[in-house]
Structure 1
Amino acid sequence: MNNEPNVAVVIPCYNEEGAIGLTIDAFKQALPSATIYVYDNNSTDNSVREASAHGATVMKEPRQGKGEVVRRMFADVEADIYVMTDGDNTYDANAAPAMIKTLRNEHLDMVTGTRSYVETAFPPGHILGNHAFSTLVNTFFGAKLTDVFSGYRVMTRRFVKSLPIISLGFEIETEITVHALQARVAWKEVPTSYSTRPEGTSSKLRTFKDGFRILGFILFLLRDVKPLLFFSGLSLVMAFLSLVLGIPVINEFFETGLVPKFPTAILASAIAVISVMCLFVGFILDNVSRGRLEAKQLHFLSTRRTSHQ
């Protein structure tokens, strides 16, 4: 009986200007028995022909965005173990066998290859942003992660098939990270090397535009996953604003017996009511969130984990 797992390497493809072939060759050498899938996301160069020429199975996802591609890859591809990587030849393919071995030996559901920060490979803004967002996620979700944006991940079928993907673009890594934290799956980070992009290629990540999108998505996930924390924080902000506006009005009333700033008093009262409402909304949605989390965990546990994992 063959105990070797069925491994699929899944790669989203954009305009890589020759890098996709290097990526495929590197993973074919590192994982000779793996099936390599390249999903074309509207590339306009020769990447698709290059991927086919290098022996990859090429599929197409016309809806633009990395989140759309990953959702399609995870839905289409059937395997015991999934290796997700980018097609720009920056991730170390030679680390994949050790990551798979760690996944299997330690009975994990995900292993993330964290990137070594080399100045020539990373723009300074990307390094700063990754540290900032990693700290934000760690603070909100009680984790100790070092690279929440790594696109190099080895995952079991059980994890992949129970992952509800809603993001459209580069928020996908954040969504995978938060889902794993919320579902409390067995997961480990391992350090890997990260190379400079091949000449002629450039990052599709726009530091500020995508950074703000990712920040908004983290806040959206916080509202969705930890509504009591989100709405109680909002309640505190509203309560503080209400006090700032209302205390002078109250002091003036006790001193003169009059309320000359009547509109301010109404505004302060309205904000105080909103503060209380936010708190109660947080309590209600927290119960809803717990029910959804239980459903997610039951779905995760009911998804088949193959004997090869």
Structure 2
Amino acid sequence: MPGIVVYVYDNLSTDATAERRRAAGAIVRTETTKGKGNVVRRAFADIEADVYVMIDGDDTYDASAAPLMIKTLLDGPYDHVLGVRKQDEGAQAYRAGHETGNRVLNGVVGKVFGENVEDMLSGYRVFSRRFVKSFPAVSREFEIETELTVHSLHLRVAQTQVHVGFRDRPAGSESKLRTYHDGFKILALIIGLARHERPVAFYGLFGTLSWLISLILITPIVVQFYEIHQVPRFPTLFLASPCSCWAAWPGPRA
């Protein structure tokens, strides 16, 4: 792509990644605080451009899709173009459980924010300058993709999705993504962002669930009281009481 400037951020790698990328003509910078979110935050703060292309450096994404994604951004015009991963025929690029987990998270975010998201964990995206410079970048690790997606949904920026090829990692390399550890961190971030960005829906759902639990627990106790005029199950009654209080809780005040 004529005129493109390639930046590679080295996050304390122990191989020859930085030297090889520098020899290939890329501008190599180092981020000493480990974590993908820290790298993205540093890159967004350092780099000045009109269009930003973000892609993981593990050679699993089809880099040839970048011109189409850039053209899509400019023609829209859009502020965010998401590269939706489509596995190449015969490839097994997704680790066990990752594809299913991604679908679950896509569904959760879609329900909370009312938008269809096909691949919220994709590391292949194109942004406008105003998107990058408005992005707060709080995440430190692999939650960064979730934060990018939720930020775009919350601001209702003009965005679209483009299917891109996704292939196996090169032999000898392995993903740093920890399936359960990072999966739960991503889910926790979604819950936190939903609480902040959609408080009425979040606390409404929380209150409804608390009310249902309280109703399920208290109903047999009330029935027994009318039958025998006693409350034989005090522990259940004590559990139902805070549930009913939580159902009426309006949430923390700003």
Q: TM-score scaled to structure 2, two decimals? A: 0.92
Do the aligned residues in 2 keep the contact of 1:117 with 1:127 (CA within 8 Å)?
A: no
Q: Could you tell me which residue of structure 1 aligns to residue 176 of structure 2?
A: 204
2:87 touches 2:167 (CA, 8 Å); kept in 1? no
Between the aligned partners of 1:86 and 1:78, the Cα distance in structure 2 is: 19
Identity within the alignment, %: 46
> What is the rounded CA distance, in whole Å, between the counterparts of 1:260 and 1:176 in structure 2?
52
Structure 1 residue 264: Cα displacement: 4.0
In structure 1, the gaps of 5 or more residues are 1-30, 289-309
Q: CA deviation at 1:262?
A: 4.5
2:165 partner amino acid: S
Whole-Å Cα distance in 2 between the matches of residues 151 and 207 of structure 1?
A: 16
Instruction: Pick the aligned partner of 1:187 from 159, 166, 183.
Output: 159
Write the distance in 2 (CA, Å) between the matches of 1:102 and 1:185.
Answer: 15
Task: Please say if 1:88 is aligned against 2:35.
Answer: no
Letter in structure 1 aligned against 2:136: P
RMSD: 1.8
Residue number in structure 1 paired with 2:68? 98
Partner of 1:217: 189
Taking the aligned partners of 1:122 and 1:36, their CA distance within structure 2 comes to 27
Task: Flag structure 2 segments of 5+ consecutive residues without an equivalent.
Answer: none
* Aligned residue type for 1:247: T
Give, in whole Å, the separation in 2 of the partners of 1:114 and 1:266: 49
Determine the structure 2 residue equivalent to 1:306: none
Q: CA deviation at 1:156?
A: 0.5
**In the alignment, residue 158 of structure 1 is paired with which amino acid?**
R
Instruction: Work out whether residues 100 and 154 of structure 1, in 8 Å CA contact, stay in contact via their aligned partners in 2.
Output: yes
Deviation at 1:167, TM superposition (A): 1.1
* Distance in 2 of aligned mates of 1:192 and 1:263: 56
- Matched ranges for 1:110-121 at <5 A: 110-118=80-88, 119-121=91-93
Q: What pairs with 1:147-166 in structure 2 (closer than 5 Å)?
A: 147-166=119-138
Residues in 1 aligned to 2:238 and 2:75: alpha-carbon distance in whole angstroms: 64
SS of residue in 2 equivalent to 1:63: coil
- Superposition deviation, residue 265 in structure 1: 3.4
Q: Which of 268, 280, 286 is equivalent to 2:240?
A: 268
Deviation string, structure 1 residues 219-260 (Cα, Å, up to 9, x no partner): 222122112222222212221222233223322332344445
* CA shift for structure 1 position 203: 1.4
Residues 269-307 of structure 1, C-alpha deviation per residue, up to 9 Å, x if partnerless? Answer: 332122211xx22xx76xx6xxxxxxxxxxxxxxxxxxx
**1:171 aligned residue (143, 150, 153):** 143
> Residue deviations 1:64-97, cap 9 Å, x none?
1101100110011111110001111222222111
AA partner of residue 28 (structure 2): V
Question: 135, 141, 162: which is aligned to 2:107?
Answer: 135
Mapped to 1, the partners of 2:237 and 2:125 lie a distance apart of: 55
- Report which stretch shifted further, 245-254 or 156-165: 245-254
Match for residue 69 of structure 1?
39
Q: Please tell me whether the aligned partners of residues 52 and 126 of structure 2 are also in contact (alpha carbons under 8 angstroms).
A: yes
Contact 2:106 2:119 (8 Å CA) reproduced = yes
Q: Note if contact 1:92-1:192 (Cα within 8 Å) is conserved in structure 2.
A: yes
Cα distance in 2, alignment partners of residues 194 and 262 from structure 1: 57
| Conservation of the 8 A alpha-carbon contact between 2:83 and 2:161 | yes
Whether the aligned pair in 2 keeps the contact of 1:111 and 1:155 (CA below 8 Å) is yes
- Equivalent position to 1:241, from 195, 198, 213: 213
Q: How many residues align?
A: 252
- Structure 2 distance, partners of 1:99, 1:183, is 21
State the distance in 2 between where 1:267 and 1:85 align.
49
> 5 Å matches for 1:1-12?
none
Residues of 2 paired with 1:276 and 1:205: CA distance? 39
- Partner of 2:147, secondary structure, is helix
The amino acid of 2:195's aligned partner reads: R
Q: What SS does the aligned partner of 2:34 have? A: coil
